[in-house]
Amino acid sequence: MASPPQPAAYRPATDLLTLGPGFYDPVDPADFPQARLRFRNQRWAERVGLGDLSDDDWTRHFARFAPLDGSLPQPLALRYHGHQFRVYNPDIGDGRGFVFAQLRDDAGRLLDLGTKGSGQTPYSRFGDGRLTLKGGVREVLATEMLEALGVETSKTFSLIETGEALERNDEPSPTRSAVMIRLSHGHIRIGAFQRLAYFQDTEGLKTLTGYALQRYYGDASGDPVRLLDHVVGATARLAGQYMAAGFVHGVLNSDNINISGESFDYGPWRFVPTWDPAFVAAYFDHQGLYAFGRQPEAIHWDVMQLAVALRQIVDAAPLIETLDSFGDRYQRAVTDAILWRLGVIPRGVGDMATIQAIERGLRNEATPLADFFHESFGGRIPKAYGPAYDEARAALAPYRARKQRDAPFWAGPPCAMLIDEVEAIWTDIAQSDDWSAFERKIDQVRAFGSALAD
């Protein structure tokens, strides 16, 4: 039996400072009237060497923002632009968050501790720089579920209630406030490159390209085409993982696409009840631009904007050729991700046809997605799923199971994260400060992740 992983050593970093002051603004955090710890991600705290922090020290760092030893001496709000629903906006940037610290995990990866709801910055415009407690609860639930489903996602590291009453136009107000800490494989967005291109800052583009290649891909070449190639591969993989997870991000603007290919920043997200390509998460997405089935297209479009920015420092032809590889990479990624969720080992021959047959069954029968994957884990679609699945059943027959169904988890009900349950969890918190359903859900999701994991 393998030994459990040992807690990692704390390894602070300050790599962001090497970019220089043209990429960020030092800011001061808000001074909150209270700091009540609501969620602490202990398993990731141990992986970055912070597992031994007392709750008091945790709050001191992640609500009062005392600097972590050896890391960034002051919070930094990053500068970026971006396309929002395909309209370019040069007036954005870190408006209610900042990078608070950098450090390395037990695998040696450079990670950021970034905030959400930590106060106003030069980019807040008319916003108050705050986060609702409901928004924080929803982000915990999203990131925990996505991590369980094998999606490359940021991790919600901390959620602390801050004691302010917030007014919001799109939900009952006043509502409770919070500050959240996100653990992420970098916060460099496509929009950061767009900003530099907007100002025709070619030296800045070269600097940021070299930083991104070296820090997130271990590539010292400084070659913009190589950066685009890495980003195309990573984002195509992410698009495939979204589809296999049945996840709709909701706001796939270019300022919400991380060049490391890691999903982050969850607002109006949803998990689809059934395989419905037209399902939309955001009530304001009137044209369905970021609907479930259009997410690969949306992510590809955003990566095109990175290529447009990089065109200022490299010829167009190799960028276009690299962009054209997105579709094939996505098809391989979504195939591998769905086979992984089904708990079978890819064969290499006929895999895509198998996935297409499964998709046809799911779409034609409107089968509850979580139920289907739960009951078909190991590659055997139950006979209760009718003749619409006969083609998929035959296609899956030659596949070997990746791991055995692990009782008692697979004998129980499927683990889903649909909106009705999310709202019920929040209602318990809002009405009676009852966090028990939230805590039970985190336990269930983590058990689900363990059952799925390699």
| Coil vs helix vs strand at 334 | helix
Query: Quick check: 143 and 156 in contact, CB under 8 A?
Result: yes
Beta-bridge partner residues of 156: 182
One-character DSSP codes across 116-170: ESS---TT-TT----EEHHHHHHHHHHHHHHHHTT--B-EEEEEEEEEEEE--TT
Query: Quick check: 71 and 12 in contact, CB under 8 A?
Result: yes
Pairing of strands 110-116, 131-132: unpaired
Number of Cβ atoms within 10 Å of the Cβ of 142: 24
Helix ranges, 3-118 (H): 42-47, 55-62
The residue annotated as part of the active site, out of 255, 265, 285, 302, is: 255
Query: Quick check: 115 and 143 in contact, CB under 8 A?
Result: no
CA–CA distance, 221 with 206 (Å, rounded to integer): 11
Catalytic site includes residue 52: no
Number of Cβ atoms within 10 Å of the Cβ of 418: 15
> Residue holding tokens 């030659």?
398
Between the CA atoms of 260, 125, 87 and 272, what dihedral angle is there, to the nearest 10 degrees? 60
Beta strands in 1-93 (DSSP E): 11-13, 24-26, 36-40, 76-78, 82-84, 87-89
CB-based contacts of 427, cutoff 8 Å, min separation 6 = none
Which positions are annotated as active-site residues?
A: 255
